[in-house]
A and B are shown apart, each in its own frame.
Chain A
Amino acid sequence: MTASRCLRLPPLAHLGLVAAFAGSALTACGRSAPPPGAAPPHALISSIRGEPRTFNRYVGRDAVVDTFSHLTQATLVRINRRTQELEPRLAESWTMSPDGLACTVRLRSGVTFSDGAPFTSADVLFAFRAVYDGRTDSSLGASMRVGGKPLQITAPDATTVVIRFPSPFGPGARLLDNLPILPRHKLEAALDAGTLHEAWGTSTPPSEIAGLGPFVLKQYQRGQRLIFERNPRFWRTGEGGRRLPLLDRLTLEIVPDQNSELLGLQSGQIDFTQSEVRPEDYATLKRAADAGRLTLLDLGVGLDPDSFWLNLRPDRPGAAKKPWLGRVELRRAISRAVDRRAFAETVFLGAAVPVYGPVTPGNPRWYAPDIPRFDYDVAEARRLLAGLGLSDRDRDGVLEDRSGARAGFTLLTQKGNSALERGAAFVAEELKKVGLAVEVAPLEVGALIDRIERGDYEAVYYRFLTTDLDPALNLDLWVSSGDAHVWNPNQAAPATDWEREVDRLMERQVRALDQAERKATFDQVQKIVAEQLPIIQFAAPRIYVATSTRVLNATPALLRPAILWNAEALAVSDGARR
C-alpha cells in the first residue's frame, strides 16, 4: 500500500513537498489500513455550507444542527418527506382518543442508545421537560405547544407514554416529528442544573454524544468536516431484515462556497450537497447528468416562493405621509403589474412556475388551485393606482400622490442572495413601468431581520423556509397574533375584519379532526389571503438536487434535509466504494 492509496491521493501526490513525506507516510498509513482482503467501506461524502454551532438540537436552530439531529437522533414518529404520511419510529404504534385530546403511544421495546443505555418512556418525559424548561430556551419549545400551551405527558410504564393536548389538535401525532429524543442519562444533570443550553457544544467529545439515530459522530475536524459512522445499535432494519443504515460511514465536508461545492460534485469529490441546485448551475449539471457523470433529480415545484410584503403595522414609518401604502388596491396593483411568467424566466432562468399565494403546488395536500388571481394586467394596475389618487401630475413617468410627493417606496432584500437580489430588481423594474418609484436596498441578513423585527421598513422581498407542510404547524404566519405574521405581527386583537376571519378559520382548522374539513377550511383561508394579498408571491422555483452516480436509494424531498432525511437507506453502488 502506498501513501497515496492510503489517503486517497491522486497521482500528483508524488510531486514536490509531498515527496518528502511519502516514505514515512507509507509506514504510518500501514497502521490504520484495513486488514488484507477486507472490503472497502460503504461511504458517502456530502457537503454542508457552515460549521456546526452546537450538537444540541434542543438549542440549535440552524440547518447544520438539524441535519446532525437527523443523522444521530430519532423521533417517536416521522413524517415521510416524500409521501407526507406519518410513519412509526421509536413509537411502535399510537392511538388518538375520539375527542382528539389524548394520544397513547406504545414505544418499541429493546431499543438502546448508541452507548448501550436502554431507551424508555423516561427519555420521552425528559425530552418534553427539556424543551419546555424556560432556562433551555429551546428552539423547539414553541413548535411543541398547541395554542401556546404545553402538552401534558405521563408515562404509565416503561414502554407507554400518554400525551394530552390542551385542546383538540388536527395534526395530532404529526407534532411529534419535531422532537428528537435525546438521552436522559447524558443530559438530565445539565437540565437540572439549568445548563442544558450549554450542553453538547462543539467541543464535546464525540464519545459523549449518544443517540438513537442511524449514525454516531466519530470525529469533528473543526473547519473541515464531520465524520459519522454507523450506529451498531440502530434499532431499525430494512427489507428482509437487512441491517440499517446501509452505509458504514458518512462524511459531511464543510464547504462554505457554493461554487466550490458545485465543482466538488462535478469532480466526484463530493457525492451530494445539502443545497439545492441554483438556477444558474442547472445547465452545467444537466450536461454532466446527460453524460452519465451525475444524477439530477427533479423534485418538482418548491415550497418556498420568494415573498413580497408591505409594512402594514399601524405605527410604520411614514404611515401618515403615505396612507396609500396600506391599501389593498396598491397590493393588487403590484400583483397586476408584475408579469409572473417573465419573472420566472428572468429570476429563475425558466425553472419556476407562477404562483399566487404562499402555498405552492409543491404542497399538493394543502394547495388550493382556485384562489383569486390578480394576474398580469398593466392597464388594470394603473387604474387601481389612479383610484388611490396616484397619477403622473408632472408627466415625468413617475406617479405622484395628492400632495404632489413621488409615489414610491424602498424595498429591502437580503444582500448576497442572488435570486432575491434579482427578484427584487425585477419587481422594481416592473413597478417602474406603472409609475411607482421603487428603490431596492439589499442589506446583510442580520440588518434585514433587525429592520423587519423593529418594523422599520416600507417593503421587503425575502424568502421564508417552510419547516412543515401542515398549516396548523405554521400557524404563526396565518394568525394575527403570530410572530411570522410579518406584515403586522403580534397583534393584540385582529387589526382588520379579514384577519379576524382568518383567525377564526385557522382556529377551526387546527381543532378539526376530520382531514376533509381541515382542507376545506384552509382553502377558505387561502382565498381570503389571496384576495387581500398581505404577502405577495410571484413564482416558485422548481427544485433540483444532484448526486454522484455512486449514490443509491436516495429519496430526496422538498423539506430539508433533502437527501439526508432518510440517511439510513442510502447506499453506494457496487464497485464504487470509497
Chain B
Amino acid sequence: MLRYLARRLMAAVVLVALVSSGALLLTRLAPGDFASELFGAGATRESIAQDRARYGLDKPIATQYLAWVVHAVRLDFGTSLLYRRPVGELIRQRAANTAVLALAALFVATLLGLPAGIVSGSRSGVVPHVIRGTSVVLLSLPSLITSLVLVLIAARTRWLPIGGMQSAAAWQAGLTARAADVAWHLPLPAVALALPLAAMIERLQSQSMAETVTMPFALSALARGVSRRRVVWRDALRPSLVPVASIYGFVIGSLLSGSFVVEVVTSWPGLGRLMYEALGARDLYLVAGCAAAGSAFLAAGSLLSDLALAWVDPRLRRAP
C-alpha cells in the first residue's frame, strides 16, 4: 500500500511539474506579454522596454524557465507580476475559498444526484423520466448560463446575495458571524456549480443501479421475496456506487481547478477567478502557479477516487 501511495505521489509530482511548466511556457510563447497588456496601444517604447527588463520578460525563454524551475522546486513559484506579491501566498488564499465552494457544491451535487440516480435507475414510471429529462437539460446548459440564471433569480427575488463571499459589514463582526455570512453567500455559487455535477452523478448512478438490480444476487433476493426497495437500498446500493466513486476524485479535482466561470459570474474570490485574471494580464508566474495548484488538486482527487473505489469494491484492494 505504501509503495502504491509513493508511486501515486510521484505521478502527481510529475503531473504538477508538467502542467505548470506547460502553462508557463505557453503563456510566455503566446504573442504579447504582461508589459504590452499593461500599457496598451500608444505607450512609449521606452516604458514597455523598461517594464520588460524590470520583470525579466526580456530574457530568453530558456533562462527564464530555468530560473523559475530552480525556485519552483523549493515551492517558490515567483512573484505575481500583476499583484507584486508571492504567487504561493495568493494561491493559498484563493485555494481556500475555492475549496469551501467546491466542497459545498460536491455536498449539494451528491445530495441531489445520488438519490435521484438511485430512484431513476430502479424504478419505472413518470418520475424517472422527469429526473432523466432534468439531468439532460442541466448537463446541456453551460455553467455560464446556469450561473447567470441563478444570479438573475437572486437579483429578482432578493432572497440571496448575487455575488461575493462576504458582506461588507462582516469584517467587523466576530468569527461565527463571519462564517454565517460566508454560508449565506454560498448557496448561489454552490448550486450553480453543483447542478451540472448532480446531473452527471444522477446519470452515472442511474445506469449503474439499473445494471446492478438485474445482477444474479439482486434477482435471487427478489425471487426470495425480499422487497424491491430493500434490495435497492440495502443490497444493490454499495456495488452500484463503483462508477460514481471512480469519477468522484476527478470531480473533486475539476471542481477545485475548473470553477472559474461560476467564480467570475458570482464574484467568488477563488482560484478560478485568479487564473482568469492572471491569463487576462499575461501574468505568467501566476498562471503557472494556478495551473500547478489545479493539477495538484486533480492528482489528489484522483488518489481519493482510487481509495474510494477500493472501499466500495474490496476486490480492488487486492489488486497488484
Q: Which residues of B contact A53 (CB under 8 A)?
A: 82-84
Is B41 in contact with A486, judged by CB distance below 8 angstroms?
A: yes
CA distance A444 to B27 in the complex (A): 12
A25 touches B180 (CB 8 A): yes
Q: Does B97 contact A (CB under 8 A)?
A: yes
B1 → chain A closest CB, angstroms:
36
- Distance in angstroms between the alpha carbons of A462 and B41 in the assembled complex: 9
Question: In the complex the two chains form, what is the Cα distance from A268 to B157 in whole Å?
Answer: 11
Which residue in B33, B47, B168, B170 is a CB contact (below 8 Å) of A251?
B168
Interface of A is mostly: mixed
Instruction: State the Cβ distance, A463 to closest chain B Cβ, in Å.
Output: 10
CB-defined interface of B280-294 with A at 8 Å, one 1/0 digit per residue?
A: 111000000000000
Complex: chain A residue closest to B161, CB-CB: A269
Which residues of B are found within 8 Å of A486, using beta-carbon distances?
41-42
**Separation of A498 and B246 alpha carbons in the complex (Å):** 71
Contacts of B174 in A (CB 8 A): 24-25, 27-29, 31
Interface centre among A18, A137, A201 (most CB of B within 10 A): A18
Contact yes or no, A256 B267, CB < 8 A: yes
Residues in A whose Cβ lies below 8 Å from that of B84: 53-54, 198, 201-202
Proximity string of chain A (185-221) to chain B, C-beta cutoff 8 Å, 1 when within and 0 when not: 0000000000001100111000000000000000101
Q: Does B73 contact A (CB under 8 A)?
A: no
Q: B45 near A: Cβ within 8 Å?
A: yes
CB distance from B80 to the nearest CB of A (A): 9
Determine if A10 is an interface residue (Cβ-Cβ < 8 Å): yes
Q: Answer yes or no: B51 CB below 8 A from chain A CBs.
A: yes
B159–A446 CB distance below 8 A: no
Residue pair B176, A24 in contact (C-beta under 8 Å) = yes
On chain B, the residues within 8 Å of A50 by CB distance are 277
| CB-CB nearest in chain A for B277 | A51
- The answer, yes or no, to whether A8 is at the interface (CB within 8 Å) is yes
Given contacts A18-B183, A264-B155, are A9 and B167 in contact (CB under 8 A)?
Answer: yes
Question: Whole-angstrom distance from the CB of B42 to the nearest CB of chain A?
Answer: 3
Q: For residues 237 through 294 of chain A, which have their beta carbon under 8 Å from a beta carbon of chain B?
A: 251, 253-257, 259-260, 263-264, 266-269
Question: Taking the complex as formed, is B54 at the interface, i.e. its CB lies under 8 A from any CB of chain A?
Answer: yes
Q: List 28 A-B contacts (CB under 8 A).
A: A7-B169, A7-B177, A8-B169, A12-B159, A13-B180, A20-B183, A24-B174, A25-B173, A53-B84, A142-B47, A201-B83, A221-B171, A223-B93, A223-B94, A223-B165, A223-B273, A224-B166, A225-B164, A227-B171, A253-B164, A256-B273, A263-B154, A263-B162, A267-B155, A444-B32, A446-B37, A450-B36, A483-B42
Q: Taking beta carbons and an 8 Å cutoff, which residues of B are in contact with A?
A: 30-34, 36-45, 47-48, 50-51, 54, 82-85, 93-94, 97, 148, 151-152, 154-156, 158-181, 183-184, 186-187, 264-267, 269-270, 273-274, 276-277, 280-282
